[in-house]
Amino acid sequence: MEKTAIKPEDIQILVADESHECYVDTILKTIEDAAKVRGTGIAKRTHDYVSTKMREAKAVIALCGDRFAGFSYIETWGNKQYVTTSGLIVHPDFRGLGIAKRIKDMTFSLARIRWPHAKIFSLTSGAAVMKMNTQLGYQPVTFDDLTDDEAFWRGCEGCVNVEVLRERHRKFCICTAMLFDPEEHLPAKIPQDVINRINRLEGRATTSQEFRD
Ligand SMILES: CC(C)(COP(=O)(O)OP(=O)(O)OC[C@H]1O[C@@H](n2cnc3c(N)ncnc32)[C@H](O)[C@@H]1OP(=O)(O)O)[C@@H](O)C(=O)NCCC(=O)NCCS
């Protein structure tokens, strides 16, 4: 299909399930090819990891008919206190049509619904992602404000700039850190004992997470 002929309404943005596992190889190849073009290196994702994300309703896929157009997924860190929307990719044939924005909006909503009290962060050198993060209410922060979960930082080991990160003891790197803190989007902070009281009145468990894996 000619790119100019594609209209945004031709693209479906879906929360993926097992029926989309047939796209995993294409997704991984598209991510790998894009990383080569950007010269950044990537966090390694296995076939099984991406398939599991689909089965757990933690991935979003964009399709144009049965053609792969884009993808992203959500991950939790530090005992689900932090969430990232990760692996955002739009196939080159479908760029500039607002698909990344629609995918990002969907992964962001998924993360907020699933872990409403988690902080959502992003570590990126991509201008498009910074722009979308800002539109969603993320603020630039220092690396100290991000998770200290080692599993997250291991994802940086595939990046060409990992030595910079190591030399700076994870305080700085090429990427910009951005954070959406749900607490900061409330005009006043409600003390935890009041939240517990409200939860009791509403018959909810007094946990900080309403949805659990
Ligand atoms: C980055 C990427 C996901 C954008 O996909 P896309 O579908 O073309 O993006 P959209 O059309 O939804 O654009 C979203 C916003 O980003 C802006 N944008 C898109 N590409 C941009 C670029 N290269 N530089 C700056 N801004 C850009 C758009 O103007 C739009 O902003 P607006 O809503 O204010 O108009 C896509 O180019 C891609 O897959 N690149 C390779 C992988 C990658 O870089 N992933 C991000 C990892 S950090």
* Model pLDDT for residues 175-184, shown as the tens digit of each residue: 999 999 998 8
User: In this structure, what are the phi and psi dihedrals at residue 181, rounded to the nearest 5 degrees?
Assistant: -105, 110
pLDDT at 210: 45
Ligand 1, residues 3, 88, 136, 176: which to mutate, most atoms within 8 A of Cβ? 88
Q: Which two tokens stand for residue 161?
A: 């700039």
Give the nearest ligand 1 atom to 34 CA.
Answer: 41
Give the nearest ligand 1 atom to 126 CA.
Answer: 48
Q: How far apart are CA 83 and CA 40, in angstroms?
A: 22
Sequence length of the chain is 213
Q: What is the CATH number of domain 3-201?
A: 3.40.630.30
* Model pLDDT for residues 3-23, shown as the tens digit of each residue: 568 999 999 999 999 999 999
Which ranges of the chain have pLDDT less than 70?
A: 1-4, 41-43, 206-213
pLDDT at 4: 61
pLDDT at 212: 43
197: β partners: none
pLDDT at 209: 45
Helix/strand/coil percent split, the chain, to 5 = 45, 20, 30
